[in-house]
Amino acid sequence: MKKVLALLLTFVMVFSVFTACGPKDSDPTSTQTQAPDQTGETTPTEPEPTEPGTEVQADVPADRYDAIATPRTGNNATSPLVVSTGTLDGKFNPFFNTSTYDTDVVGMTQLGLLYYNKDGAPEAGINVPSFAYEYTQEIEGDTSVYTFVLKNGIPFSDGVIMSAKDVLFSMYVLADPLYDGSSTFYTMKIQGIGEYRLQTSKDVIEKVEAILEAGIEDEDGEMVINPASGVSEADQEAFWGYLDEAGAAFAQEIVDYVNASYPQYIGDEDAFPGYDADQVAADPNLQVAFGMAMWGFGELDEDGNFVDALGNTYVIGEDEVNADVYWENILGAYGYDLDGINGEQAGDLTIQDYVNDIYVANEGQLEGGVPDITGITSGTVVSDDGVEREYVKVVLDGVDPTAIFKLGVSVVPQHYYTEGFAGETNEQGVVVGDKDFMAHLKTKNDKPVGAGPYVFEEYKDNVVTYGPNESFLLGSPRIHTFRYKEISLGAELDALKTEEVHYADPSASTTIINDVTSGEGDYGKLQYTLVDNDGYGYIGIQGQAIPELEVRTALARAMNCQLAVDDYYGEL
């Protein structure tokens, strides 16, 4: 193995590169066995199940590499493979990692329900790094049914055998109403997920949907209670009675987003002059004023007072500038045009979502709660080979082409992530809508555990170190020690030349390509592969500096984008 493996424009690491794999399955996606029915029972045409007491064989490749039986030799045994990464946030948790770099760190330790190949197609099978042995997806009337048959005898890296309960645990965490990670699992129309997240009945959800469909805006933009199918005017008034409370929460989300994302504009003469970041961080009034100013709802005058979009002046240090003030300004700009209001949102929730959540929490909670998501079930089924295996079934309303990509969740060990939690969990291993439970999950941010090819050992001195998971389902990793090393943006090439790292992904340029191709000096050690970057670039025009939409539009149309493209890519 060369010291420097490759120089890439964009490098997406797939852990199977570092593992010993058998020949690829001739049908890697799914064998079309009869899907189990809602109870998990199978049809009479299926093979007889394995006899009770029969030893369950692990669903792994027969010829997988075993480093215990055949120890590694040479560099694979003694020299760590070091790959460059960017600055890490330290959120090494399969539920809560947000940055690409942290996701890569976690990914080395995880096994997904499905595997997505280099073309993005989902796969399952014996020779595939997935927990699913096979899967089916079927359209049945107005529903989509996904059935995942699970492999037998696959252990997590700590030796505990994976099961359907771990899949359910992973899905239920992602579906929790207090989940605040980056997964969009909860956005799927899984049957019963709305009732579960809101802890309410289907009748309440249908009533809310009717109210939202009717809307509250008349032709003049004023608030009006429009007729809603099957809903009384009193119920509508009760629902929209929470609009101001919801609006304040909607506005506060903008404030939080702006303060987290744009602190560099604090003190800028054109944005928020006269204050520094420490002053703003210490004063909630300044935080709201900054959030409003950055969104075009006010500005600071020459005396350092805040003047909102309605013309009201607030003396900083004396007057209160809060989320209610912000909401008044949003209403002043849009009236009750909810689509217009949602054009200002900074997060995933619309103003309707906020009203819905507050209304249900106050008036629609189901006594005794909703413990289960009806559209997620599990059981056992006998496969074509006569072996009994567990399955997980997910039923969605309608058809969602993206669902198959959201369902391939990392299968997280319930026993590890709930260990040490003082409360009592339900059958799925969670506590619905419980802040303490979510906080407990985040206590595991420093050490991910899963069934992936490597075991997280430590994060020290900007280096993440892994050891091998010798029980990985595709076999022991060929390389014993793997590391991620943080390298500053733009310094990747130097790190390669000095052999600080073996693999990196600097942005390509004709100069870099020519230097590597020449093979002179330290460049003689390097090889490269060009990979298309599936991203996009854009030119942003600050609305604060140029508030007129027509002017911004004219500037954008006057630009020759092809010149930028040609200059960026050169002759690559």
What does the pLDDT read at residue 218? Answer: 78
What lies within 8 Å, CB to CB, of 340 at 6+ separation is 333, 334
Question: Is pLDDT of 537 > 80?
Answer: no
pLDDT tens for residues 487-523? 999 999 999 999 999 999 998 888 889 999 998 999 9
Average pLDDT over residues 419-444: 97
pLDDT at position 5 is: 38
- Contact between residue 251 and residue 257 where contact means Cβ atoms under 8 Å apart: no
Split at pLDDT 50, 70, 90, the class of 55 is confident
Average pLDDT, the chain: 89
What are the tens digits of pLDDT across the range 381-425? 999 999 999 999 999 999 999 999 999 999 999 999 999 999 999
Of the listed ranges 35-39, 129-133, 268-272, 378-382, the least confidently predicted one is: 35-39
Burial 501-522 (b: 16+ CB within 10 A, else e): bbbbbbebeeebbebbeeeeee
Residue 41 pLDDT class (50, 70, 90 cuts): very low
pLDDT reading at 29 higher than 50: no
Q: At a CB cut-off of 8 Å and minimum separation 6, what does 137 contact?
A: 144, 145, 146, 147, 404
C-alpha distances out from residue 491 to 4, 90, 103, 507, Å: 15, 21, 21, 11
pLDDT at 82 over 80: yes
Please state, in angstroms and rounded to a whole number, the distance separating the CA atoms of residues 108 and 19. Answer: 11
Higher local confidence (pLDDT), 6 or 49: 49
Q: How confident is the model at residue 123 (pLDDT cuts 50, 70, 90)?
A: very high
Q: pLDDT grade, residue 13 (50/70/90)? A: very low
Element (H, E) at 100: helix 100-107
Using CA atoms, how far residue 21 sits from 16, 38, 66, 161, 332, in Å, is: 7, 35, 11, 21, 62
Partner residues linked to 530 by β-bridges: none
Write the pLDDT tens digit of every residue in 341-389: 999 999 889 999 999 999 999 998 888 889 999 999 999 999 999 999 9
pLDDT tens digits for range 234-251 = 999 999 999 999 999 999
Per-residue confidence (pLDDT) for residue 54, from 0 to 100: 65
Per-residue pLDDT for 144 more than 80? yes
**Percent of the chain residues topping a pLDDT of 90:** 75
| pLDDT at residue 546 tops 50 | yes
Residue 572 — very low, low, confident or very high, per pLDDT cuts 50/70/90? confident
- Give residue for tokens 């002046």: 313
Percentage, residues of the chain above pLDDT 70: 90
- Contact between residue 465 and residue 454 where contact means Cβ atoms under 8 Å apart: no
Given a contact cutoff of 8 angstroms between Cβ atoms, the answer to whether 285 and 316 are in contact is yes
The model's confidence at residue 22, banded by pLDDT at 50, 70 and 90, is very low
User: Is 442 in contact with 470 (CB distance < 8 Å)?
Assistant: no
Token pair in block for residue 443: 């206590």
Burial of 439 (0-12, 13-18, 19+ CB in 10 A): exposed
What is the per-residue pLDDT for 47? 46
How do residues 198-248 score in pLDDT, each as one tens digit? 999 999 999 999 999 999 987 777 889 989 999 999 999 999 999 999 999
CB 351 within 8 A of CB 246: yes
Strand 454-460 with 388-397, pairing: unpaired
Distances, alpha carbon 189 to alpha carbons 62, 302, 379, 431, in Å: 39, 51, 22, 22
State the pLDDT confidence band at 187, using cuts at 50, 70 and 90: very high
